Amino acid sequence: MNDQQNSLLLRSLRGEPVERRPVWMMRQAGRYLPEYRAIRATTDFLGLCKTPDLAAEVTVQPVDLVGVDAAIIFSDILVIPEAMGMELIVEEGKGGPRFPNPLRAEWDVDQLASGITDRLRFVFDAIAETKRRLDGRVPVIGFAGAPLTLAAYMIEGQGSKNFDTFKAFLFAQPAAAHRLLEKLAAELIDYLVEQTRAGANMLQLFDTWAGVLPEEEYRAFGLAHASAVLDGVRRAVPDVPILYFPKGVRSYDGFAESGASGFGIDWQTDLRRAAQELPDTFPLQGNLDPTVLLTPPEQIRRRTQQMLAKVPSGRGYVANLGHGILPNTPVENAQAFIQTVKETAI
């Protein structure tokens, strides 16, 4: 675990002086890269996730092709519900991932398997193979979906604009919802800790659907169970930073007590305000609107420099997008973003 302690990424996350900001992009191993599409043409999405050699290959691609400062393992947040016994279907271009038999009652929650870490060996093998291929060039990031976000898919059955079925479940069956979220939290702690044992230098907990609930319900169903994961992981592996990315939240009040070592900020939030609301001992990450990468290079450079200027120079900070890179992003535009960060001194 000491191979990357002096990397730009980990030094910045510890709040140590750095010559420039580290930079990577969410979903950086993906469809905007022709090299990814070439490999993806040989297998389906889950097949790619579950073949460590291929997963490692696409994980390393953006390091070589666009020059990012970290490699995030190629996987999917929904491998957890699948390992718990839910049938998962992923058909790109056909509406995204879906569970044909979503959870509808407490009985469904009780049927979910526990102690599933061994079923996810392909993720840990992919991390280990990625480490071998990178040979210390950049750190490796592991990740998982937060309990609330996983539960949203498991109950709704698929992505949704409003998550009506999921929200109705939480409002009508709160005891069953908390039981599900507690089960997920327990599995996620083991899963993330095992990722660090495989070689992950940093972790990220994605809470993509944090913003779909009213604030009071988010704190009860979302933040409370995410905090259980964050705190559990920090206790087990205190030297590995774990960033929490709660997309769509309206306030960061109380987040300092969540157990996270830092926070990802989405593109809808003003980065300067987030820096003011969260104590400066917590590093931040983000938050360029991914759509900016669809504009001319001079616009990308200008907007990137504006983003970098919003974070005080002495604060730990990682440049990133405020959500995943869009599949129709030109590779040269992604490179313009990365290069602008690299050329901007603190």
The tens place of each residue's pLDDT in the chain, 346 residues long, gives 446 889 999 999 999 999 999 999 999 999 999 999 999 999 999 999 999 999 999 999 999 999 999 999 999 999 999 999 999 999 877 778 999 999 999 999 999 999 999 999 999 999 999 999 999 999 999 999 999 999 999 999 999 989 999 999 999 999 999 999 999 999 999 999 999 999 999 999 999 999 999 999 999 999 999 999 999 999 999 999 999 999 999 999 999 999 999 999 999 999 999 999 999 999 999 999 999 999 999 999 999 999 999 999 999 999 999 999 999 999 999 999 999 999 999 8
Q: Cite the DSSP H helix spans in the chain.
A: 8-13, 34-40, 45-49, 52-65, 79-83, 106-110, 121-134, 147-156, 164-172, 174-198, 215-217, 224-236, 271-277, 297-309, 331-343
Please say if 44 is a catalytic residue.
no
Please say if 317 is a catalytic residue.
no
Please say if 207 is a catalytic residue.
no
Q: Taking the complete model, does pTM exceed 0.95, yes or no? A: yes
Residue 94's pLDDT is 73
The chain-wide mean pLDDT, for the chain, equals 96
> How many CA atoms does the CB half-sphere of 273 hold within 13 Å?
10
Please say if 40 is a catalytic residue.
yes
Catalytic residue among 69, 76, 190, 266: 76
State CA 169 to chain mean position distance. 25
Catalytic residue among 32, 153, 244, 317: 153
Residue 5's pLDDT is 81
Please say if 135 is a catalytic residue.
no
- Domain ranges across the chain: 8-343
Residue 171's pLDDT is 97
DSSP codes, 216-240: HHIIIIIIHHHHHHHHHHHHH-TTS
Catalytic residue among 11, 14, 31, 219: 31
Closest C-alpha to 241, from 141, 130, 117, 311: 141
CB-based contacts of 40, cutoff 8 Å, min separation 6: 31, 48, 58
Residue 311's pLDDT is 97
Catalytic residue among 21, 32, 36, 40: 40
8-343 classified as CATH 3.20.20.210: yes
